[in-house]
């Protein structure tokens, strides 16, 4: 049987492997953050517009998502969230 990893003793110590894991974790945090904002925002403001969804989906920074999650508590609608 062919083993593509034959000779790779400690792949988990590889810098490439670690970089892939870190990227996956960051993408997961972004997705979860967006989902949290959507759930809480829908409860407070109703369904977001297509424009608001596009704004949310365009965010690629975990820090920005976290700031929006906090801001969600202080604004009155979807529009104000993205201002």
Asked if 72 and 37 touch (Cβ cutoff 8 Å), the reply is yes
Question: CB-based burial of residue 78 (10 Å sphere; 0-12 exposed, 13-18 middle, 19+ buried)?
Answer: buried
Asked if 55 and 83 touch (Cβ cutoff 8 Å), the reply is no
- 6 to each of 11, 20, 32, how far by Cα in Å? 11, 20, 36
**pLDDT band with cut points at 50, 70 and 90 for residue 72:** very high
Mean pLDDT throughout 36-42? 97
Predicted confidence (pLDDT) at residue 19 exceeds the cutoff of 90: no
**Reported pTM:** 0.73
């Amino acid at each position: 049987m062919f083993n593509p990893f034959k000779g790779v003793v400690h792949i988990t110590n590889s810098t490439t492997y670690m970089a892939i894991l870190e990227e996956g974790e960051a993408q997961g945090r972004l997705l979860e953050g967006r989902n949290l904002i959507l759930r809480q925002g829908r409860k407070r403001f109703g369904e977001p517009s297509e424009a608001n969804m596009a704004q949310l989906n365009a965010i690629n920074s975990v820090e920005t998502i976290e700031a929006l999650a906090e801001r969600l508590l202080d604004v009155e609608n979807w529009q104000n969230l993205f201002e």
